[in-house]
Amino acid sequence: MTYTYGAGAILHFTNNLIGVQLKDNLNFLAQPWKIATFGGGLEAGETPLQCLERELMEELELDLNNYECQQIGVFTSHLHAQSTDTNNVYLISNIDISDIRNIHEGNLLIISLNTNLDHLDISVYAKEGLNKAFEILKSKI
């Protein structure tokens, strides 16, 4: 059995829209063309938050220290019979959409809090994370 651990971000913009990643269509990716969180796998000695800081800088050139960061869950998926993927998902808030200047991996997909997730091709942990993020954000409206 293989175990992988990672960290992912759901972006909450100041205009109350949500940003997620539409993954590239590359053969080496676990779930090409799926909607996912921005982020990736933990490197040796990293905490999930350190991983997220590194990944957001690599993928979006965002400095996590400039935004509110709230862990919203730890979600597990079983993409293959012999592997278990655990992802720490964070809600990153107060991002001005103009802060996203460069996207180095995948594409930025903007959705509203009213988006029906059942009709989207979305990774398991991203869907669970989005449901939790929607719950948190709708409770503040």
Q: What is the pLDDT of residue 132?
A: 97
Q: Which residues pair with 108 in a beta bridge?
A: 21
Please say whether the beta carbons of 71 and 56 come within 8 A: no
Give the three-state DSSP class for 106: coil
Q: Calculate the average pLDDT of the chain.
A: 91
* Portion of the chain with pLDDT greater than 70, in percent: 92
Please say whether the beta carbons of 19 and 110 come within 8 A: yes
List pLDDT tens digits, range 23-46: 877 776 667 778 999 999 999 999
Q: Is the pLDDT of residue 115 over 80?
A: yes
CATH (domain of 76): 3.90.79.10
List pLDDT tens digits, range 68-87: 999 999 988 766 666 778 89
Torsion angle of C-alpha atoms 2, 90, 121, 82, degrees rounded to 10: 10
Domain that holds residue 14: 2-139
How many Å from the N-terminal Cα to the C-terminal Cα in the chain? 43
Structure tokens at 91: 């809600």
> Number of structural domains, the chain?
1
Q: Of 82, 15, 5, 80, whose CA–CA distance to 44 is shortest?
A: 5
